[in-house]
Structure formats: structure tokens, C-alpha cells
Amino acid sequence: MADDNPDILRATTDPLGALKAGLRYGVFGLVALTVLGLAVWVPVAGTPGLWGVVVGAAVGGGFILVTILVVLATAHMPPTTSLYIIMGSWFLKMVAVIVVMAVIKNMDFYDRGALVSMLIGAIVIVLGAEFYGVLRTRVPYVDETPEK
């Protein structure tokens, strides 16, 4: 008999399963993009290309992945506490990105093309991979009806 459940879907009873799958796929996507970026930019730009790839992947991918880590860490807290922590982490991430970009702005140890391409690529790939991981995970729920 044919299975009505496609292999592409993963069922879980963990309410955080979709977020964990999103994190897992996001990390895999970032690693794959970093390897691809190194394969492209190191031959093109040498050591500055390597540093551009590493910094771009760390800033772009880290910015997105930290959000899902904070959401997972605060999942069992009261909603207002979670909100404060998530918004605080977002503010700290913004400050960190601005500081990192300001510090390396006039430095020449990295290739700007590698940095920009990896920064944009990491944001797009990690968000897409997280989205795919969340969509792919099925979490069943039961709507309890009161006993009469």
C-alpha cells in the first residue's frame, strides 16, 4: 500500500521541532554557502577573498541564526519576557553589525566583493533554509474538547 505520508515531511511531537529543524537547515545552508564562497573567492582574490567570505558568512549568517537561537532559548518563558529578550537581542545584533562594519570599513585585509556577496548570500540562504526546515516539519496538534 502506498504511503500517504511523503518522505519529505518530518513529523514530530516536539512543539519546538519546526524551529529546531529551521536552525539545523540554516546551519547546513550557511556551511554549504561558506564552502562554495571559499571555492570561488580564494582563487579569485586570495587571502583577502578568504577573509571576505569568513567575515561575510559570520555576520550575515550569525545575524539570522542568533534570532532562532534566542527564540528557542526563550520558548518556555512568559510571552512578555520572551518579547523583551528577543527585542533586546535584535538591538544588540544591530549594534554589533554596525560596529563590525564600522571597524573594518577602512581596513584592507578582506575583499569587498567577497564580503558583500557572502553577506547577502548568507542572509538569503539561511532564511530560505530555515523557511524550508519549518515548512517541512509537521507538528500535530489536538484540540481538546471539554468533557460533558
Q: What is the dihedral of CA 108, 111, 115, 121, to 10 degrees?
A: 180
Tens-place pLDDT, residues 57-78: 999 999 999 999 999 999 999 9
Per the prediction, the chain carries an average pLDDT of: 88
* Residue carrying the nine cell digits 539570522: 64
- Contact predicate 48/109, CB 8 Å: yes
User: DSSP label at 140?
Assistant: -
Note the pLDDT tens digit of each residue in 89-99.
999 999 999 99
Write phi, then psi, for 10 (nearest 5 degrees). -120, 120
Task: Give the contacts of 15 (CB within 8 A, at least 6 positions apart).
Answer: 75, 139
Instruction: List Cα–Cα distances, 103 to 50, 61, 66, 97, 128, in angstroms.
Output: 18, 19, 21, 10, 29
Looking at residue 25, its amino acid is: Y
**Prediction pTM value:** 0.81
Under DSSP, is residue 33 helix (H, G, I), strand (E, B) or coil? Answer: helix
Say yes or no to pLDDT of 139 above 80.
Answer: no
